[in-house]
A and B are shown apart, each in its own frame.
Chain A
Amino acid sequence: MADRFFLLTLWLIAGLVTLTFAWLLGDILIKGVPAISWEFLSQAPSRAGRQGGIWPILVSTVLILSVAICVALPLGLCSAIWLAEFTRRDGPLGRRIGLALDILAGVPSIVIGLFGYAFFSGFLGLGFSILSGGLTLACMMLPILVRTAESGLTAVPDEWRHAAAALGMRRGSVLWHVLLPAAAPAITAGLLLAVGRATAETAALIFTSGYVDRMPESLSDSGRALAVHIYDLSMNVTGGDQAAYGSALVLVTLIIVINLLANLLSLYWAKRKVTLA
């Protein structure tokens, strides 16, 4: 009896969570699909986004994300490797850096945006630009990326490290041939978590990459990200709801595509190297 009640509660909770998500997605789909058309995807917005499309915004979003990933991924991966493989685990240095990263991961995005505005836009003189927005997003992604990649690497059994050492293998080649491929799923999951957070980011980008909705001419040009566009349409533009839902649908699709692509690529790479459990 108690068992049944317990099971029922679990089902209810699970159902509730799934329902919320389904509702959200359904809402976006129902209200967003009518807005989607080839024109919507391929034209520039006009009348503050009420009419026209989101093409330049889509381009800006992809550019900002690319900058962020290109900066955050190598830096994050290297830091994670250093933390997991080349410092003493739970040593004082590693612990302090870990703590700093955890705090950084919890810093509200508006604060990071302010930092990006002061440092990248102001101090480095990048102004309102895609570059400055991408770098700011990279700052947001780094702690998540480093922490997940690090825990992915530490989860790889020590026996392989010992086996490799006993065979006189260089640490770099063990890392490349065994440890990184074995940790690839965890690292990818971390990357996707970070990309998801970055794609949804509004506050930090208003300060740094700006909200000009025309086509960016270069990385040093200002550009409006999708999330900023949605925010602007739903908050500042009366009669922009239709376009906002359309943009939201595109944003969700973009995140799903990035998810699939990253999983596909990393698993393809890892499977060619190791036999994943």
Chain B
Amino acid sequence: MTDSTGLQKGIESPYTLGQVEAGSPCCEPVAHLQIRDLTIAYHGLTVLSGVSLDVYRGCITALIGPSGCGKSSFLACLNRLTDLLPGAHTRGEVRLDGQNILAPGLDVKQLRQRIGMIFQKPNPFPLSIRRNLELPLLERGIRQRIEINRRIENVLRDVGLWDEVATRLNSPATRLSGGQQQRLCIARALILEPEILLMDEPCSALDPLSSAVVEDLILRLRGRYTVIIVTHNLAQARRIANYAAFFWVTEQSGKLIEFNRCQSLFEAPQNSLTEAYIAGTKG
């Protein structure tokens, strides 16, 4: 299953692998997030329009397409990070358990606990490794030492960092390598026990080896978490995703062109744009 990640090709990995095992692929798709007619605009300029799709529980959904087609905005909208962007405006519906998360009165903190986010550039706080994981817990009112330590060890084992950092939890997180930092960020998101993880090109700022380790980790998250990942690496999307959505810019705004099971989208694309893009003749 992880043959393609480069780890098994004779390169001795300096990293340990996590304990999370890949869950069963989603045979019976159950919608976890239902996106209906979603439109995103910045300062009145539409960047994404009329997107409707279902994100299935426990699956990895890859968002592919050229830069500037609104994939990242789409992702940011799903845990309301668009609230932070000046001039951003969203229309349409995103339903999580029947509740529209774009509704104005929604408890955003609660939402962001359920839907975590991993960014392109690893962004651990300039704190110790322990403190990085502890802060979100303290923020949630979890203060018992034992519980905090238990959770820290758990998530660090989940992302395969435990053996690498167990003896230096109090050293600065910024001293870790890029790949370790990104896995720490994933651990930090996991520590809040979210249901959905949003990943915005999580491997693109990493060297190939670290990238392979993080990719492997993402695969292992499948089943236990619903993962939505933006990636420019088509091979990566093909390797890890169950579903794929292809975005493209038409009439000056991004649109969802095709959404299907990953295999179908890559092997038998319905739309000629998709076909051209994955063949590398367009975009």
- Encoded as 1 (CB less than 8 Å from any A CB) or 0, chain B from 77 to 92 comes to 0010100101000000
Residue in chain B with minimal CB distance to A169:
B139
Cα of A89 to Cα of B86 in the assembled complex, Å: 9
List of B residues within 8 angstroms of A159 by Cβ: 119, 121, 123
- Separation in Å of the B133 CB from the closest CB of chain A? 10
Stretch at the interface among B13-21, B106-114, B152-160, B209-217: B106-114
Known: A162-B81, A275-B128. A167 touches B136 (CB 8 A): yes
Is A10 an interface residue, CB under 8 A from the partner? no
- Separation in Å of the A174 CB from the closest CB of chain B? 9
Cα of A168 to Cα of B79 in the assembled complex, Å: 10
Do A177 and B126 touch (CB < 8 A)?
no
List of B residues within 8 angstroms of A277 by Cβ: 126, 174
- Separation in Å of the A157 CB from the closest CB of chain B? 8
List of B residues within 8 angstroms of A276 by Cβ: 126
Is B142 an interface residue, CB under 8 A from the partner? no
We find that the number of chain A residues with CB closer than 8 angstroms to chain B is 23
- Encoded as 1 (CB less than 8 Å from any B CB) or 0, chain A from 84 to 99 comes to 0000100000000000
Cα of A162 to Cα of B113 in the assembled complex, Å: 14
Cα of A88 to Cα of B128 in the assembled complex, Å: 31
Cα of A225 to Cα of B125 in the assembled complex, Å: 44
Do B112 and A274 touch (CB < 8 A)?
no
Of B79, B110, B126, B173, which is within 8 A of A166 by CB?
A: B79
List of A residues within 8 angstroms of B81 by Cβ: 162, 165-166
Do B135 and A177 touch (CB < 8 A)?
yes
List of A residues within 8 angstroms of B113 by Cβ: 168
Known: A166-B79, A166-B189, A275-B128. A173 touches B139 (CB 8 A): yes
Do A169 and B127 touch (CB < 8 A)?
no
Residue in chain B with minimal CB distance to A166:
B117
- Separation in Å of the A267 CB from the closest CB of chain B? 14
Do B127 and A88 touch (CB < 8 A)?
no
Do A178 and B110 touch (CB < 8 A)?
no
Is B22 an interface residue, CB under 8 A from the partner? no
Do B127 and A275 touch (CB < 8 A)?
yes
Do B86 and A167 touch (CB < 8 A)?
no
Is B192 an interface residue, CB under 8 A from the partner? yes
Is B188 an interface residue, CB under 8 A from the partner? yes
Is B172 an interface residue, CB under 8 A from the partner? yes
Known: A159-B119, A182-B126, A273-B127. A167 touches B84 (CB 8 A): no
Do B139 and A166 touch (CB < 8 A)?
no
Is A21 an interface residue, CB under 8 A from the partner? no
List of B residues within 8 angstroms of A168 by Cβ: 108-113, 136, 139-140, 192
Cα of A182 to Cα of B127 in the assembled complex, Å: 10
Pairs of residues from A and B, 7 with the lowest C-beta to C-beta distance, nearest first: A275-B172, A168-B112, A166-B117, A159-B123, A168-B109, A274-B126, A163-B123
